[in-house]
Amino acid sequence: MNQGITIFTPTYNRAHRLPALYQSLCKQTSREFEWVVVDDGSTDDTKSLINGWIKEGKINIRYFWQENAGKAQAHNLGVEMAEKNLFTCVDSDDMLIVWAIERILAIWNEHSEKIGIICACLREDDSLLTHWDNNIKVHYCTLYDAYRKYGLKGDTMLIYQTDIIRKYKFPLLRGEKFMTEAYLYDQLDREGNLYVSKDALYIREYFPDGYTNNIKKILRDNPYGYQAYLIQRLKLDRKLKYKIIDTIQYIDNKQIIKDQRLIRDSVYPVLTCLIYVAMKVKRSIIKPKTKLC
């Protein structure tokens, strides 16, 4: 593959957000990247906007349109179309620090034996979004261990080898258009460790119409994708604490979709039974107080 980074951006009716990202890419101190935009069926002027930037010729842009199928399927297409040896996702309402590409490539030149890199994120006011446990110093780890073993909190920028991320895809689930990215990252962890960089190279903002601010509703509307993620995650859990946390979420999700195969599909049937009974007892005890006349 060609050396450099594929910046992948999935977008849906975000023509009003994309210019800030475009400008941040135009200002990059390195041009060793391509911008792959997958338009998930936008009905605004996204297509004409991107085509205008392609004609400007300031940066290498490749635009793809698909019928509205959700971010996960857009991600599958973006990975398939990538032509650089490194791959990262930058959402349509976010930006990169001007030296981000240059810094990532410098890090990669020293740590190309890893499957990728974890970098930190900032808010637009320069406050840090990514935090590690100050008592733990780690140079490389899986993403799962980063959060559950080494105290990582907040969002990160993730860069992967394209040949590795291309091995895995989000499944297509009928009637659903969302699956948490952690589903894919848990699979990528099987390939090896990420190099941990404390460099903050990604500027992330949370807008009212974004995924982050609407995640609870999105998960309720896409329960089968979330169920697939939870079952996969439970198979990775080693500590009882996390087995309990994820089993509670698994039970809640099963109840949302009214699926009777609670025990049959469970990774830990005995634990699932115990937690299910405990949850029923707790709910029967905590009842709304009746107002006395």
- pLDDT at res. 61: 98
Residue recorded with tokens 């029967």: 284
Written as six digits, the tokens of 130 are 């990514």
Burial of 260 (0-12, 13-18, 19+ CB in 10 A): exposed
- pLDDT at res. 94: 96
User: CB of 31 within 8 A of CB of 98?
Assistant: no
- pLDDT at res. 227: 95
Q: Phi/psi zone of residue 94: left (φ > 0), alpha (ψ -120 to 50 degrees), beta? A: beta
Q: Which of 238, 139, 116, 242 is nearest to 189 (CA)?
A: 116
Q: Which residues make beta-bridge pairs with 128? A: 122
Written as six digits, the tokens of 49 are 């906007």
Calculated CA dihedral for residues 237, 241, 243, 246, nearest 10 degrees: -100
- pLDDT at res. 290: 43
Degrees to nearest 5, angle at CA 234 with 228 and 236: 110
**Could you count the other beta carbons within 10 Å of the beta carbon of residue 125?**
7
Would you give per-residue pLDDT tens digits along the chain (293 residues)? Answer: 799 999 999 999 999 999 999 999 999 999 999 999 999 999 999 999 999 999 999 999 999 999 999 999 999 999 999 999 999 999 999 999 999 999 999 999 999 999 999 999 999 899 999 999 877 789 999 999 999 999 999 999 999 999 999 999 999 998 899 999 999 999 999 999 999 999 999 999 876 666 666 777 888 889 999 999 999 999 999 999 999 999 999 999 999 888 889 999 999 999 999 999 999 888 777 665 544 33
Q: What is the DSSP letter of 28?
A: -
Count helices and strands (H / E) in the chain: 11, 9
**Could you count the other beta carbons within 10 Å of the beta carbon of residue 250?**
25
- pLDDT at res. 291: 45
